[in-house]
Structure 1
Amino acid sequence: MFFLLFLFHFSHAKLFRQGLLPPPMTNVPVPQESWFNQTLDHFKPGDTRTWNQRYWINWEHFRPGGPVLLMIGGEGEANPVWLNAGSWLDYAKKNDAAMMLLEHRYYGKSHPTPDLSVKNLNWLSSKQALADLSRFVVEMQAAHNLTGKWIALGGSYPGSLAAWSRLKYPHLIAGAVSTSGPLRAKTNFYEYLEVVQNALETTKQGCSEVVKDALKRVKYLTAHRVGWSLLTKKFNLCTPFDGTVLTDVINLFESLIGNFEGIVQYNKDNREFEGAKWMNITVETLCNIMTNPTEGTSLERLKIVNDLSLLMAEEKCLDHTYKTQLEELQGTLWNQTAAVGGRQWTYQTCTEFGWYQSSESPLNPFGDIIPARFFEYMCSDIFGPRFDISLLERGVEDTNTYYGGLDIEVTNVVFVHGSIDPWHAMGITKTNKSGMEAIFIEGTAHCANMYPGSKDDPEQLKNARRRIGQLISQWVK
């Protein structure tokens, strides 16, 4: 799966900001990969084409008759490190459960088609992915004589899939843990930056205002040629800034505000992957920089944050150009950069979800610098004129109709969110519906409860992990 570092300084980072669950670190050997003969199109019985889907199994804690915990892969390569790490390992031990991880179609090495051309992306959807899960469950039950109940787990987009799998296939999935899962598709997801602003301000008073002031200064510099030269040098741009190219201007703002978004979304989540020397970079780190008057003007402080982000991403310069962005996302070969997940996830946002993190909030957290239309027009630029705003809006409406959005009617599902995670704005954080439970953890970020526990974790986070374990035990027994 993607690492947070990958997100830094991609001008289209917000298209990826959906989730990307970085794996925890473990020295325990991981199970070998296996391959499953999967159906290409589950909704056309006459289409008999198949492909090989990758999965992993950990039988270490399983006893005959025991349940299966199924972790759902998402919009990046599935990582088998999860088979020996994370909070679900404790749930497996407690319930004598097998642990399985199924990679999402079109991501990682699970390639249903020869390439990623537009015509071959036709079978990339959450509906097809859920049908993959159902067929996988049925075939694994038969192949391994599994009689216990199945629990689906996932974080971020896979968290949505976990809830939806229980909704659509309740005879196969006995319960689901939906962590940080957005359930409401929405084209203009301006709430994302509202949560980011609140996280900065609650971390250190005045932090968000300084960031906003710095962005105002950047906007002023984009209006004249002297400012263009200054921006090129100050933010170490790979190519000279040209303020007449509106898409490049928006991309620059995307990157500068993205430096804060990424840290907020994954703040203190205990993931500890290789390169963990950057784990001490938190919201507090950035706010300490932005509120330190000895570092110069707000613009100078924004430069320091940008330099830090480049260092973390091991990038020599910041490529802010829309042209580079399009070239990467237009790549159709599996061995190209976009095939890591960028092109595929962009396609899903353009056809199913939207979730474009604009700055067009009525609360105006960081100024009117990133319009939703920028992302909407990008769909046409990447995939062709057929992928217009009308197609996007129909896709979003269909998604909410098909799954129910925030009005989903489902039982044996727990929805888990952190208050600092911007994605909680599209999820269920409280509910009175029978059979559903919501856990909202103050002060935690994206998918925090899925990572190994620490003695320094907030008490609410510790309680959340315990409660999830109790629910799983109830569902399987």
Structure 2
Amino acid sequence: MKLLVLLMTASFVLVEVNLSEIFRNGRTLGGNVGVPKPDKHRENVADVPDEWFTQKLDHFNPTDERTWQQRYLFNDQYFDPNTGGPVFLMIGGEGEAPVEWMTGGNWIDDAEKHGALLLQLEHRYYGKSHPTEDMSTENLKYLTSQQALADLATFITAMNKNYSLPSDVKWIAFGGSYPGSLAAWLRFKYPHLVHGAVSSSSPLLAKVDFSNYFKVVRESLAAYSDDCVASVQQGVREIGTLLKDEVGRKNLNKIFNLCTPIQESLEKPLDISNFYEMIADNFGEVVQENGANRNSSQANANITIDVVCEILVNQTIGSPVNRLGKVNDLLLVTRDEKCMDYQYEKMIDSLRNVSWDNEEDEGDRQWMYQLCTEFGFFTTSSNESHIFGDKFPTSFFIQQCKDIFGDSYDEDFIDGAVDHTNMLYGGFDIEVSNVVYVYGSIDPWHALGITKTLDKKAPAIYIEGTAHCVDLYSPADTDSAQLTAARQKVSQLIESWLKL
């Protein structure tokens, strides 16, 4: 009997920290995929220990013999080697690999059904997987999606031997967000090792100017009401007016509870750009995570589009800018933050920290490096339908790359890096079979994904009214019929792949 191994990629859970920039560039601090809410499968989560795998530092230099220890997890409670049951391997993304996924989430139902051994591999440079002595720019050159995919291939090959798996073993990759991209690319690059992939909310096209991100945010707010959108747009315009005189600037300090008076930043355009971007990111965070059945150490998991739009259309609160301030206050409270820290240099100083002991960034420096050297994904203000002003164009993000990593990380470098990534993986033109792409209409990242079936061997599922990676979490009573049907379709596809 053929033995099946399912591989699931996912990224990390939020942790509670005192940082204003807990959401930047469409990424939640610690990674875009959190942990599933408690369910019947999570009773023994504390019993899943950390394991370590000896990994090569550079897979593409045969003369480099350096190695490091990569964290992985396993759970064999469903696995029966005598009956040839499946094995699931979850691959971590841009944050620590959460132990909760080993006993929770929608994929556990398939694990029980097929008698799966569960494995999870943490992504290099994130969580506890530290390949180098620090995160200096020179050391980060080994942080690439190509190296991560080679890590997976090496790990799969080793686990086949360690568990004495048969030669015809099948691996099926699951992943959400960036790991969703890795899942599809793993099937694309290593089809002899991976038999299929479930790619959820995955950005498949690298793009420097991801201006459509906030276009989707606007459309998602508009689904509540046009008045909600109008209130945001008017409030942002009022910010521009208040910035022009001293009384107005003092009002802004109070309205947004700023850590540093805005007067001190009038001659610092990057501060002002950062201020506008952080206001926009408030809405990006709410829209992207809207209604996900995820567990979080933060109360903002319960802040939805409906919640913020009810504030924005409530005229008793005051003018639109005051309503923007109330939304900001709500998010500050749920993040356990005392004030909004918009200063550009503070942000840059944090991202320059190369120590593994830096508890605050939770992967921010590493992910910013990948954006500057592989993906772009800069959530800019350049879209014509933008409602958050025009103060954070592409040049604002390129300046960050230069300020954090050096002047050589300029526009030409980033353009070339993004082109190279699309050449490697194909972008929207990826030719691959046994992959399913799953996206939600509310999730802004669907704008960089394959949302319509272009090849029957790699179908797309587009779910109206759902947000980022919702299909990966455990089912909830509030799930829509479309979401339930999408999960069922994915399970059917997995089962059909197993018979091939």
The two structures share one fold, judged by TM-score above 0.5: yes
1:381-420 to 2 correspondence within 5 Å? Answer: 381-420=403-442
Of residues 279-288 and 164-173 in structure 1, the stretch that sits farther from structure 2 once superposed is 279-288
Q: 1:225 aligns with which of 246, 254, 270?
A: 246
What residue ranges of structure 1 are gaps of 5+ in the alignment? Answer: none
In the other structure, the counterpart of 1:203 is 224
CA-CA distance at 1:431 after TM superposition: 1.8
**Residue of structure 2 in register with 1:70 after alignment:** 89
- Are the aligned partners of 1:224 and 1:243 in contact in 2 as well (CA < 8 Å)? no
In 2, distance between residues paired with 1:167 and 1:99? 22
Structure 1 pair 97–16 and aligned structure 2 pair: CA distance change class (3 A): same
Superposition map of 1:284-299 within 5 A:
284-299=306-321
Match of 2:160 in 1: 141
Which SS does the other structure have where 2:226 is aligned?
Answer: coil
Aligned residue for 2:73? 56
On the 8 A contact 1:193/1:359 being kept in 2, the answer is: yes
Alignment partner of 1:87 out of 106, 113, 117:
106
| Aligned residues of 2:232 and 2:387 also touching (Cα < 8 A) | no
Q: Name the counterpart of 2:115.
A: 96
Return the match for 1:354 from 358, 366, 376: 376
CA positional deviation for 1:15: 6.2
What does 1:148-227 align with in structure 2 at a 5 Å threshold?
A: 148-227=169-248
Partner deviation per Cα, 1:161-214 (whole Å, 9 max, x = no partner): 000000000000000000000000000000000000000011223111110110
Q: Alpha-carbon deviation of 1:5?
A: 6.4
Given residue 490 of structure 2, which amino acid in structure 1 is its aligned partner? I
The question of 1:20 aligning with 2:42 is answered no
CA 1:337 to 1:389, structure 2 compared with 1: closer, same or farther past 3 Å?
Answer: farther
Q: Which residue of 2 aligns with 1:331?
A: 353
Q: Aligned Cα RMSD in Å?
A: 1.7
In structure 2, give the amino acid aligned to 1:249. I
In structure 2, C-alpha distance between the alignment counterparts of 1:66 and 1:11, rounded to whole Å: 41
Letter in 2 for 1:233: K
Q: Residues 289 and 301 of structure 2 are in contact (CA less than 8 Å); yes or no, is this contact kept in structure 1?
A: no
Q: Counterparts of 1:261 and 1:4 in 2: how far apart (Å)?
A: 18
The secondary structure found in structure 1 opposite 2:437 is strand
Q: Which one-letter code corresponds to 2:252 in the other structure?
A: L
2:9 is matched with which residue? none
Give 1:7 shift.
10
Sequence identity (%): 46
Q: What's the CA shift for 1:4?
A: 7.9
Are residues 97 and 7 of structure 1, via their aligned partners in 2, closer, same or farther at CA, if it must alter by over 3 Å? farther
Counterpart AA for 2:44: P
Relative to structure 1, the CA distance from residue 312 to residue 262 in structure 2 (aligned partners, 3 Å threshold; closer, same or farther) is same
> Counterpart of 2:56?
39
Equivalent residues in 2 for 1:368-379 (5 A)?
368-379=390-401
CA deviation profile, 1:295-325 (whole Å, cap 9, x unmatched): 1110111111011011010001111100100
Tell me which amino acid in the other structure corresponds to 1:443: G
Give the drift of 1:91: 1.0
1:428–1:438 contact (8 Å) kept in structure 2: yes
State the 1:268 CA deviation.
Answer: 0.4
Query: Matched residues in 1 for 2:487 and 2:118: separation?
Result: 17
Pick which of 379-388 and 6-15 moved more. 6-15
Which residue in 2 is equivalent to 1:125? 144
CA contact (8 A) 1:68 1:151 kept: no
Q: Which moved more, 1:463-472 or 1:214-223?
A: 214-223
- 1:113 equivalent to 2:136? Answer no
Looking at structure 1, the residues matched to 86 and 13 of structure 2 have their Cα atoms a distance apart, in angstroms, of: 29
Structure 1 residue matching 2:138: 3-state secondary structure: helix
Q: How much does 1:254 deviate? A: 1.4
Q: What displacement does 1:367 show?
A: 2.9
Structure 2 distance, partners of 1:170, 1:68, is 17
Q: 2:438 is matched by which residue type in structure 1?
A: V
Summarize the alignment of residues 198-347 of structure 1 with structure 2, pairs less than 5 Å apart: 198-241=219-262, 242-275=265-298, 277-337=299-359, 340-347=362-369
8 Å CA contact 2:22, 2:28 repeated in 1 = no
Task: Check whether the contact 1:310–1:317 (CA below 8 A) recurs between aligned residues.
Answer: yes
In structure 2, C-alpha distance between the alignment counterparts of 1:252 and 1:278, rounded to whole Å: 20
Distance apart, 1:280 and its partner CA: 3.1
Between the aligned partners of 1:456 and 1:90, the Cα distance in structure 2 is 19
Could you tell me which amino acid in structure 1 is paired with residue 253 of structure 2?
T
Structure 1 residue 121 displacement after superposition: 0.4
d(CA) in 2 for partners of 1:292 and 1:350? Answer: 40
Instruction: Identify which range, 250-259 or 185-194, moves more after superposition.
Output: 250-259
Asked whether the equivalents of residues 72 and 122 of structure 2 are also in contact (C-alpha less than 8 Å), the reply is: yes
Specify which of 29, 33, 44 is matched with residue 44 of structure 2: 29
CA distance in structure 1 between the partners assigned to 2:382 and 2:18 by the alignment: 22
Secondary structure of the 1:70 match is strand
Deviation, 1:273, is 2.8
Give the superposition deviation at 1:397. Answer: 0.1
Change (3 A) 1:204 1:5: farther
Deviation at 1:33, TM superposition (A): 1.0
Matched-pair contact (CA < 8 Å) for 2:17–2:336: no
Q: Determine the C-alpha separation between the residues in 1 that align with 2:397 and 2:18.
A: 17
Go from structure 1 to structure 2 and tell me whether the alpha carbon gap of 1:115 and 1:338 turns closer, same or farther (over 3 Å shift). farther
Give me the whole-angstrom Cα distance separating, in 2, the residues matched to 1:368 and 1:75. 28
**Displacement after TM superposition at 1:228 (Å):** 2.4
Contact 2:14–2:297 under 8 Å retained in 1: no
| Pairing partner for 1:430 from 442, 447, 452 | 452
Q: Report the alpha carbon displacement of residue 232 of structure 1 after superposing the two structures with TM.
A: 1.6
Decide which of 463, 466, 473 is 1:441's aligned counterpart: 463
Flag the 1:153–1:352 CA change in 2: closer, same or farther, 3 A. Answer: same
In the alignment, the residues of structure 2 paired with residue 146 and residue 338 of structure 1 have an alpha-carbon distance, to the nearest angstrom, of 41
Q: Which moved more, 1:253-262 or 1:36-45?
A: 253-262
